[in-house]
Amino acid sequence: MTNLSKDFKSKISTLARISSLTIEKVQESSDGTKKILFKLEDGNFIESVLIREKNHWTLCISTQAGCQMGCKFCLTGRYGFKRDLLPSEIVDQITISRFNMPEGNNIKNIVMMGMGEPLANYKNTIKAINIITTNSGLEFSKRKITVSTCGIVPMIEQLGRDTVVNLAVSLNAANNETRNYLMPINRMYPIEKLIDACRAYPMPKRRRITFEYILIEGVNDSPEDAENLARLMRGVLCKFNLIPFNEFPESQFRTPSDERIDAFRKILIKHKYTAVIRKSKGRDILAACGQLRGAEKGHS
């Protein structure tokens, strides 16, 4: 900015800095899903995923480079934790995608479901949400923003006090024993506490909490698991996204058969829940749920 005086520039540099992410690579899946690999200023990598809906696109963004939560079924967790993203780095995934991707103008929903646990980077996540939703920022309606968590109970309560956005919870089990095994966070905040926090969460009007349930063969996919889940959720305004586990190289888990997945869903429907089977998009480019790892060749 050559039109600014030296003094003014040096004053600004003490107050603020301008930075940006760079797009390192874009991969397109056979189903149209696009995975964008961003390089951060410090050389770390993160990923965002553009998901095609009927008439618009949803952008799934990251809140951390890597993740510390160690969920057993998740590739991101396996690659360890690098650092929290700054508010600007969270927001920039949207602005850069808007300006550089052909579908950028048609991004209507934002889901914080990419790399990392948003509520483990709470301060920066909430700042980013404010920038994304304010009129002097990106002007998204709060109803179009979804925060997905593995279940950090006190921060779910805090989120409910600080803003009104959609909540998604990665549940994946209907009892503590299985959830402890799959998701270490459950040892700190067991299912009963998590469900209580969900009951108290102030969802936007006419919205329901989404519970993500990754179906893993022989681990959490039995008819008994489905019955337990239905019982556990009694009285919670919610819907279920049933996600058949996405196998990846070296994964210890398997995808259940279509019959077993369907039987699980039918039990939830019988108990009057909305349950949708989400065949993950972008599987062929490792852009599906739990498959982001923010790695470029030669990096990890």
Tell me the catalytic residues.
47, 289
Tell me how far apart the alpha carbons of residues 241 and 44 are, in angstroms, rounded to a whole number: 31
- Binding mask 3-22 vs ligand SF4 (x if CB under 6 A, - otherwise)? --------------------
Nearest residue (CB) to ligand SF4, 174 versus 267: 174
Tell me how far apart the alpha carbons of residues 237 and 90 are, in angstroms, rounded to a whole number: 29
Number of residues that bind ligand SF4 (CB under 6 A): 13
Tell me how far apart the alpha carbons of residues 225 and 231 are, in angstroms, rounded to a whole number: 10
Nearest residue (CB) to ligand SF4, 112 versus 230: 112
Min CB(26)–ligand SF4 separation in Å: 21
Q: Which pairs from 87-91 meet CB under 8 Å and 24+ separation?
A: 87/124, 87/125, 87/127, 87/128, 87/131, 88/19, 89/21, 89/40, 89/46, 90/61, 90/62, 90/63, 90/124, 90/125, 90/128, 91/128, 91/131, 91/132, 91/137, 91/138
Tell me how far apart the alpha carbons of residues 138 and 132 are, in angstroms, rounded to a whole number: 5
The half-sphere exposure of 235 on its side-chain side, counting CA atoms within 13 A, is 6
Q: Pick from 290, 291, 293, 294: which binds ligand SF4 (CB under 6 A)?
A: 290
Applying CB under 6 A, does 150 fall inside the site for ligand SF4? yes
Region from 66-74, 104-112, 238-246, 266-274 binding ligand SF4, contact rule CB under 6 A: 66-74
Nearest residue (CB) to ligand SF4, 64 versus 97: 64
- Binding mask 165-184 vs ligand SF4 (x if CB under 6 A, - otherwise)? -----x--------------
Region from 52-60, 74-82, 122-130, 200-208 binding ligand SF4, contact rule CB under 6 A: 74-82
- Binding mask 101-140 vs ligand SF4 (x if CB under 6 A, - otherwise)? --------------xxx-----------------------
Q: Pick from 59, 71, 268, 287: which binds ligand SF4 (CB under 6 A)?
A: 71
Applying CB under 6 A, does 151 fall inside the site for ligand SF4? no
**Strand arrangement of the beta sheet that strand 107-112 belongs to:** 22-28, 34-39, 45-52, 57-60, 107-112, 145-149, 166-170, 209-215, 238-244, 274-277
Nearest residue (CB) to ligand SF4, 89 versus 230: 89
Tell me how far apart the alpha carbons of residues 92 and 99 are, in angstroms, rounded to a whole number: 10
| Interacting residue ranges for ligand SF4, rule: CB under 6 A | 67, 69-71, 74, 76-77, 115-117, 150, 170, 290
